[in-house]
Copies of this chain bind each other. A is one copy, B any other.
Amino acid sequence: MLEPHDFQKNALLGLLPEDELGRLMPHFEEVTLTLGQSLCESGQHMHHVYFPLDSIVSLLCVMENGASTESAVVGYEGVVGVSLFMGGETTPSRAIVQSAGKALRLKGQLLKNEFYRAGPMQRLLLRYTQALLTQMAQTAVCNRHHNLDQQLCRWLLLSLDRLQGNELIMTQELIANMLGVRREGGTEAAGKLQRAGLIAYHRGHIHVLDRQGLEERVCECYSVVKDEYDRLLNHHNVM
């Protein structure tokens, strides 16, 4: 049986009043997400929604030719499966585990029932979805206007914010896929950051050595997204 403090590890669930959460608590189960696992295939029905704890999930747009790009990232601050309560049931995006870890999952129907009570859970999920909208819009503009170096910084910082440590288990090939560029492009950008002493990587492990250095190089897109999440999902504003 899960303890109340387990739920605090997900920021959304942590914002819920106790009695609201109490109603759903018995129905949650903790699952372990493994790197590369798919939580949602394009156009397929999901059976659960996932509230990441220390795992990170990427929402990917996959194209006909197989190329893909991350449109948003979801960690402890969010939930995977907004299409369930938004009413569409499916989405053209894929959801892939980008960093292994734990998540709490709930049967889709149970979340929908709770959502349609039109109470705190609904308010919370809608505010979160708006944050997701912002992240996607900003990703679109970033893909257009900023160079790979800056985008890599943005990606690292967004990931770092969703991890407890400062190490990412991630090959340059995977990062490049997320950013929608060649593996070689990712290698070159990562090499620059390593030579600048901001990160150190080795065969699929990336250590962030100088977070502030990354923040100095990153484009504004990072803070636009972060500030909007903070505003929308701040305890004072939401309840």
**Which A residues fall within an 8 A CB radius of B?**
59, 61, 63-64, 67-69, 71-72, 82-83, 85-88, 91-93, 116, 118, 122-123, 126-127, 129-134, 136-141, 143-145, 180-181, 220, 224, 228, 231-232, 238
By beta carbon, the residue of chain B nearest A181 is B144
List the B side residues contacting A68 at CB < 8 Å: 141
CB distance from A225 to the nearest CB of B (A): 9
Residues B141 and A144 in contact, CB atoms below 8 Å apart: no
List the B side residues contacting A122 at CB < 8 Å: 118
**In the assembly, how many copies of this chain are there?**
2
Residues A137 and B138 in contact, CB atoms below 8 Å apart: no
By beta carbon, the residue of chain B nearest A124 is B87
Residues A136 and B130 in contact, CB atoms below 8 Å apart: no
Question: Could you list 10 A-B pairs, sorted by A, with CB under 8 Å?
Answer: A61-B141, A69-B141, A71-B141, A86-B129, A88-B127, A88-B130, A88-B131, A92-B138, A93-B134, A93-B137
By beta carbon, the residue of chain B nearest A118 is B118
Given the interface pairs A63-B145, A140-B69, the reply to whether A92 lies near B228 with Cβ below 8 Å is: yes
Kindly name the residue among A85, A87, A133, A136 whose own CB sees the greatest number of chain B CB atoms within 10 A.
Answer: A133
Residues B72 and A137 in contact, CB atoms below 8 Å apart: yes
Residues A88 and B140 in contact, CB atoms below 8 Å apart: no
Residues A180 and B82 in contact, CB atoms below 8 Å apart: no
By beta carbon, the residue of chain B nearest A122 is B118
